Structure 1
Amino acid sequence: MTALRFPDVPRGRLPRRFPVRHALCAVPLVLVAVAAVRHRSVLAEGFGQLRTASWPWLLAAAAATCLTWVAAACTRQGAVVQPLPKKRLLVTQFAAGAANHLLPTGLGASAVNLRFMTVCGVPPARSSAALALYLLAESVGRLGLLAALLVAFPDALRPGTLQPAGTSAEPPLLSGGSALVPAVAGALVLIAAALAFVGRLRRAVCAFLRDALGEARSVHTRPARALALWGGSLAFPACQAAGLAAVGRALDLPVPPAHMALAYLAATVAVALVPTPGGIGSVEAALIVALVAAGGPAAVATAVVLAYRVITVWLPLVPGAVTLGALVRLKVI
């Protein structure tokens, strides 16, 4: 009888049955479970609002949400000269959305896309430059849409409706300006001092700026890339705002759709610097305040925001986390 032979295993060591990559695949699902438990009351109320809403408008909101991933893929491709695999790029944006809701705002999607570009053969310096160009274009697109809507509908937001009678009319930001201005000035002085006296940091920043400017020039010499970059950066916040407007119509919020879009853009710009995972908590509060300022009743505005966040955040979160784990296992990212 032929003797069975087993691979030699070094003494004192066991074979690796659970590679690190397999363990990382489960991390997104664990984070989703933790987030769902922490926000279970919001989830229950949000799903309750969906039961009473008009389904055609909810489907329109879901379609607008899906289009945001297409817009993000277009903008990502427009930010880099090297062509990226289209299908994998689109799937990566879906997975990056889940990562963005599980980590502080912007970090999850940025990390996923930076890794994706590196795997696709884009050099690290150009990947970082493309990421910076994407963030710049997305910010310019969001602020540009907000400015255009403010010009078109200057009376859409009425902050005075949020202010109790007898209180000061001075905005909180201005009332605390005496403390805010020195803090901002001090931070700018510290940054300038660091760049002036730390040579290695200064050289690294200068090299990054050269790479970023070079990548931006290369992108804008190609009309297709420039169109994808700026078209996608405008379409992304427009689709998000359209989704909120559709949910508002589904729940009969008495606010014009254009005013709801303006409220959405104003709220997201206001909370852009709040380091919470996916803006969970801060975005809801800002959206409710903005919709009330646009003329909506507080109770209906709260229902609209909860239903909107369920459609755009919580429903895609589990499949997005599964997709993220699959991309990690398949070494796409």
Structure 2
Amino acid sequence: MPAGRGGAKRWLTRRRIIQAVLVLGLAYVAIPLISELPDVVGALRDARPEWLIVAAAATFGGFVCAAVALRACAGLAISYRDGIEMQVAATFTGTATPASVGSLALGVQFLVAHGQPVSIATAVIGLQNIVQFLVHVVLLTVLALVGGSSVDVLKDAPSGWTLLVILGVALAVVGIALGVRRIRDALAEVWQHRGREAAEHLTTLVRSPRRLTASVLGAAGGTISSAVTLWAVLIAVDAGSHPVTAAFATMVGATLASAAPTPGGIGAVEAALVASLTALGINPGTALAATFGYRIIATWIPTCLGWFFYNRLQRRGMI
């Protein structure tokens, strides 16, 4: 074999190919945002630095909370340092892949490296996402009941009849889908291989008050930290103090980020945040600056750091 071909083969390892794909994915989603940079940089240049530091600290707190929740759901004595590094690295992989697929896969690899079989590791990551979803819904409901009047969050909500029609259509689609044998068989197989184990882990978690409390507090802390980050950025760009508004906006953004087909929810999250902030009374220009400032602190800086931790975890055999 020629030396050049052998050298290329040694360089094109699986690890380098995966990293190249992830970096190309990041470049693909980041390039369209460059046109917005002048306005954002201008607004952030005049921002109050002490509140930007508060926002960064809140973002770090979210990674700590996520590590606590993962440790509780897995029931393993995972080092908090390793857990936090994995959560930051998951920002890198999650932003480079659609619908957070990369972050979920990284979590499974991390647990497998700590001795859990793939099936159990997958169930644990699924359990963590179930807890996060339930806590997210509860917090959003509580926020709507307690602080909804202060921002008039339901002023543009559809009528009751509209919601009933939407619910009816959704139930009809589900019923038709379940009537197809192939779909039923696929769902049964997913339940057999994944759902049953996730349900067993959920039962075990519920029976352990200490682990259940840690997982719920970790999930809640992650949601609250995002709200605090946006709230601090709003203050930094002189948009005023709007904690309830920040909480609503980040919860809507998080929901879209998990459902959007774009990598890391790029585009969908920014649009949702700007629309939410303006609908809740923030000036459009200020809302745009706050949104991009929030995304830089909560997503793009952790994504850059995530690349470093991703490589570090690989070198240490943690993923």
TM range (shorter): 0.7 to 0.9
Q: Deviations over 1:134-168 (max 9, x none)?
A: 1111111222211111111122333688xxxxxxx
State the SS of the aligned residue for 1:79.
Answer: helix
Q: Hey, what does 2:148 align to over in structure 1?
A: 154
What root-mean-square deviation, in Å, do the aligned CA atoms of Structure 1 and Structure 2 show?
Answer: 3.0
Q: 2:278 aligns with which of 292, 295, 298?
A: 292
Distance 2:114 2:300 in 1: 30
Equivalent residue, structure 1, for 2:110 = 116
| Identical pairs, percent | 27
Q: CA deviation at 1:57?
A: 0.6
What amino acid does structure 2 have at the position aligned with 1:219? L
Residue 71 of structure 2, aligned match among 69, 73, 77? 77
AA aligned to 2:122 is S
Amino acid at match of 2:131: A
Distance (Å, rounded) in 2 between the aligned partners of 1:327 and 1:176: 47
SS in 2 for 1:332: coil
Q: What is the 5 A alignment of 1:87-106?
A: 87-106=81-100
Asked if the contact 1:114–1:127 (Cα under 8 Å) also holds between the matched residues in 2, the reply is: yes
Task: Give the superposition deviation at 1:38.
Answer: 2.8
What do the CA deviations read for 1:170-196 (whole angstroms, capped 9, x no partner)? 739976986884365224431453478
- TM-score, normalising length from structure 1? 0.83
Q: Is the 8 A contact 2:100 2:258 kept in 1?
A: no
2:172 to 176, 182, 185: 185
Inter-partner Cα distance in structure 1 for 2:242 and 2:163? 33
Q: Pairwise mapping of residues 54-65 of structure 1 onto structure 2 (< 5 A)?
A: 54-65=48-59
CA distance 1:211–1:195, shift in 2 (3 Å)? farther
Q: Secondary structure at the match of 1:39?
A: helix
Report if the CA contact (8 A) 2:144-2:153 is conserved: no
Contact 1:143 1:269 in 2 (8 A): no
- Which residue is equivalent to 1:261? 247
1:217–1:160 distance in 2 versus 1, CA, 3 Å? closer
Aligned: 1:274 with 2:267: no
**Counterparts of 1:272 and 1:20, CA distance in 2:** 27
In 2, the alpha carbon distance for the partners of 1:182 and 1:264 equals 28
- Indicate how the Cα distance of structure 1 residues 197 and 221 shifts in structure 2: closer, same or farther if over 3 A, else same: closer
Q: Does 1:321 align with 2:307?
A: yes
Q: Deviations over 1:109-156 (max 9, x none)?
A: 101101111121111221121111111111112222111111111223
Cα distance in 2 between the residues matched to 1:178 and 1:107: 32
1:201-226 C-alpha deviation (Å, 9 max, x unpaired): 52442343321121122223333321
- Name whichever of 304-313 and 238-247 sits farther off: 304-313
Q: How far did 1:270 drift?
A: 5.3
Aligned to 1:100, the other structure's residue is in SS state helix
Q: 1:68 aligns with which of 42, 56, 62?
A: 62
Q: Which amino acid is 1:49 matched to?
A: A
Aligned residue for 1:155, secondary structure, equals helix
Higher relative contact order, chain-length normalized (CA < 8 Å, sep 6+): 1
Structure 2: 5+ residue stretches without partners = none
Q: Which runs of 4+ in 1 moved over 4 A?
A: 172-181
**Conserved 8 A contact 1:291-1:301:** yes
The 2-side partners of 1:98 and 1:173 are apart by 41
State whether residues 28 and 325 of structure 1, in contact with CA within 8 Å, keep that contact through their aligned partners in structure 2: no
Which of 27, 45, 52 in structure 2 is aligned with 1:33?
27
Deviates more, 1:228-237 or 1:316-325: 316-325
Relative to the length of structure 2, the TM-score reads 0.87
TM-fit CA distance, 1:236: 0.4
Q: Deviations over 1:92-121 (max 9, x none)?
A: 110001211111132121011011111211
Q: 1:106, 1:224 → 2: CA distance?
A: 28
Unmatched segments (≥5 aa) in structure 1 = 1-8, 162-168
What residue is the counterpart of 1:165 in the other structure? Answer: none
The answer to whether the 8 A contact 1:74-1:228 is kept is yes
Task: Provide the rounded CA distance (Å) in 1 between the counterparts of 2:281 and 2:2.
Answer: 72
CA drift at 1:259: 2.8
Q: What are the within-5 Å matches in structure 2 for residues 214-233 of structure 1? A: 214-233=200-219
Q: In structure 2, which of residues 80, 83, 100 is the aligned counterpart of residue 86 of structure 1? A: 80
